[in-house]
Structure 1
Amino acid sequence: MKTLYTLLLGTLGGWAAWWLGLPLPWMLGPLLLVTCLALKGIPVQVNRQANRFFLGVLGFWLGTGFEAGLLSELLTWYPSVLLMLLSVLCTLLLNTWVFKRLAGLDTVTSVFSSLPGTMNAVVIQGDRLGGDARWIAIAQTLRIALVVISTSMIFYFMPGQALASPTIETGGWTDLFWILLVPVGWWTAKQLRLPMAEFLGPLLVSALLSVTLVQIELPGWVMIVTFVVLGSSIGSRFFGTALSALLKVSGYAVLATTLGMLMAALFAALTSKLTGIPLSHAFLSLVPGGVGEMALIATAAGIDPLYIAYIHLIRLFVLIISAPLLSQLLVRHQRKQDRDQQSTR
């Protein structure tokens, strides 16, 4: 019931944003309204499984635009991947410095507050290593929310760009049966231990069908529901956060996110110059946001969402496989600091 209640509020926020003419109204409207309600202490929540299912719907929808020719094109995107990895490293080091030196946090909390990975995994792992879970959770939630809002505004005001919302009257009711393949793809990817199985599995299923020339078209209202669910989900993460704690973290989180966006812009310009990929495509693939939200913005902006999703998924995959090594390094660093403190006593 709480999920339904939250999504109804999110829909109201989406309608208000649409009426006001805001960019990406069906995602930003729910995000802003639900965030405000959460900070006021109103119990809002989006069921985690519901959020992951609609992330799968998004992945399935993105896969419908896959063509056989893209297989060979993927191989030409490796320079973008290398530049993305360098961008992530620079952003991580810079933001860790912000949280450690300016905010005065310990190393573990600083690193995991800066890590642009899957939020739940980052918070859990940071907590296990002795970091401040509340700081990490607030910093990560603010990062995602700020990136979604700022990126939407950038593309809204960018010359030659426009953010279009999906229309309700698209496709037929029979096309809804395709959504039954979403949990199938999710389960299969989970068995194969693929990163972000709920997103990547359905994407691969619909991409395979598209390559075999199966015509798939989801109704536009399904995508509006997806916008509302993802926006409401981000906003609901602020529930239980004291305003004083949010204000304490927000200044440093805003600074870290701003530096991350500037780093993304710098490497996007470099990527565009070296590879010929349009600046808007490169920038959206490098901003430190979630793969689902960035793919939605790409679609609304008329940008190839598969390129965006591909780069972001590679980022998440690299972070997942490197997390154990990073954890070991942080543990050793923490032990060394403890020994140094004991020796000076």
Structure 2
Amino acid sequence: MKVLRLLLLFVAAAIISYGLDALGMILPWLFGSMIATIIYIRLIPRALYFPRWLGDLGVFIMAIEIGSTLTLDALADMRADLFNIFLMTILVLILSLILSRLFIFLTKSTPETAVLASVPGALSQMLIMAEEEERADILLVTLTQMSRIILIVLIVPFVSGLFQPVSDLTADPVEVNYLTEIFSLPMLIIPIAAVVLIYLLNKINFPASLMLGPIIVLIVWNLTTGVEFSLDLQFINAAQILFGIRIGLQIASLMTQLNKRLIFSIMLQNLILIFGTMFIVYMFQLFTSHQFNDLFLSAAPGGLGQIIVIAIETGGNIAMISSYHIFRIFFIIIVVVPIVGYYLKYLNRKRKRQS
């Protein structure tokens, strides 16, 4: 019976997600599964059977897709503008970490919650770390990160539309084969090596090992074999459903803690981050030849998929904007995530010594 109830939730999540997708909702499969889970918990009082390995499988699939984006072409695009990409990424991250102090003041949350809620463009990675960190409020982290995506979609197109480039600087995105089109037996080494690496990273207590393991393996694969691929949309949607159900279960148990103060704090922090990024871009433009529209979309603290859609609609430089965001994704995952992880462990050790 518990398996049948779980299958019922999967069906509900797929139907709601498909409906949101048809309506043009952002991240429909992630949000749809979270909405379905929260509704399910409210309507059906029986405990939901959802084994942890299913949520982990969703994270594993998403990590493979993220890793597959770092191709040789993406590296070539980054190399020409590497210093600008690095500096812009650092400035936006510094701004977000400064705002984490404001977030602590407004919400009375822990430093762990504030840091994980503030890092931009890293929804999945920060939620995974929030799950692992017992002093982090996953509801606050989730709502802050998710509301930022919504605000990005509402605000960024308007701002970007005011500064559309005067010349056509767009570049067609590179076509990449889907996994099912080029799959061969040697490619089985990818999930096997990823599982082994996850195990080894867990042994040394490395942060977010479930996400980093597949990504590192895909980086090595792309750079050594030249066989590039993207996961089929069905795999990505299924991964978002699995991950969304896991997060939805956690949010459903914490919804009673939400109040007007928290809503105001979340909105204020995200708005300051977005418009603070605009100021950074304005100052940055004084020293470069890039269009404001391209720089703003490159720096905007949102997901790669949403930003690229906006860039296409406003005539942005797709190659440049993609390279900035891909660099930030990997910089956050490979550099920021471990640093944040060790910082949170430092806070725990310090707290234990003082107690």
Q: Same fold (TM over 0.5)?
A: yes
- From 164, 183, 195, the equivalent of 2:191 is 183
Any conservation in 2 of the 1:107–1:330 contact (CA below 8 Å)? no
Any conservation in 2 of the 1:31–1:232 contact (CA below 8 Å)? yes
C-alpha distance in 2, partners of 1:21/1:322?
34
Q: Does 1:295 align with 2:304?
A: yes
Pairwise mapping of residues 29-40 of structure 1 onto structure 2 (< 5 A)?
29-34=32-37, 37=40
Q: Does 1:312 align with 2:312?
A: no
C-alpha distance in 1, partners of 2:131/2:67?
27
- From 211, 216, 225, the equivalent of 2:238 is 225
Residue number in structure 1 paired with 2:218: 203
Amino acid at match of 1:250: I
C-alpha distance in 2, partners of 1:35/1:82?
40
Q: 1:246 to 1:5 in 2, by over 3 A?
A: farther
Amino acid at match of 1:52: V
Q: 1:53 to 1:92 in 2, by over 3 A?
A: same
Pairwise mapping of residues 1-345 of structure 1 onto structure 2 (< 5 A)?
1=3, 5-34=8-37, 37=40, 43=48, 47-63=54-70, 66-67=71-72, 70-71=75-76, 73-74=78-79, 76-100=81-105, 102-105=106-109, 110=114, 114=118, 118-122=126-130, 124-125=132-133, 127=134, 131=135, 133=136, 136-154=137-155, 159=161, 173=180, 175=182, 180-187=188-195, 189-190=197-198, 191=200, 196-208=211-223, 211=226, 214=227, 216=229, 218-229=231-242, 231-232=244-245, 234-245=247-258, 249-271=262-284, 274-276=287-289, 282-283=295-296, 286-288=299-301, 294-298=303-307, 300=309, 303-304=318-319, 305-316=322-333, 317-321=335-339, 323-324=341-342, 328=346
Any conservation in 2 of the 1:58–1:226 contact (CA below 8 Å)? no
Q: 1:24 to 1:188 in 2, by over 3 A?
A: same
What's the offset of the Cα at 1:253?
Answer: 2.2
C-alpha distance in 2, partners of 1:268/1:52?
32
What's the offset of the Cα at 1:217?
Answer: 5.8
Amino acid at match of 1:249: L
Any conservation in 2 of the 1:96–1:110 contact (CA below 8 Å)? yes
Residue number in structure 2 paired with 1:163: none
C-alpha distance in 1, partners of 2:43/2:265?
22
Q: What are the superposed Cα offsets for residues 243-286 of structure 1, whole Å, 9 maximum, x if unpaired?
A: 34365533322322222233333334444554555656655654
**RMSD of equivalent CA atoms:** 4.4
C-alpha distance in 2, partners of 1:218/1:20?
23
Any conservation in 2 of the 1:26–1:224 contact (CA below 8 Å)? yes
Q: 1:218 to 1:265 in 2, by over 3 A?
A: same
Amino acid at match of 1:318: V
Any conservation in 2 of the 1:285–1:309 contact (CA below 8 Å)? no
Any conservation in 2 of the 1:175–1:217 contact (CA below 8 Å)? no
Q: 1:239 to 1:9 in 2, by over 3 A?
A: same
Any conservation in 2 of the 1:185–1:204 contact (CA below 8 Å)? no
Any conservation in 2 of the 1:143–1:253 contact (CA below 8 Å)? yes
Report the secondary structure of 1:22's partner residue.
coil
The TM-score with structure 1 as length reference comes to: 0.67
Residue number in structure 1 paired with 2:172: none
C-alpha distance in 2, partners of 1:173/1:235?
30
What's the offset of the Cα at 1:200?
Answer: 1.8
Q: 1:97 to 1:120 in 2, by over 3 A?
A: same
Any conservation in 2 of the 1:60–1:203 contact (CA below 8 Å)? yes
Amino acid at match of 2:56: Q
Amino acid at match of 1:56: A
Structure 2: gaps of 5 or more residues: 165-176, 313-317
The TM-score with structure 2 as length reference comes to: 0.66
Any conservation in 1 of the 2:72–2:222 contact (CA below 8 Å)? yes
Any conservation in 2 of the 1:31–1:235 contact (CA below 8 Å)? yes
Amino acid at match of 2:219: L
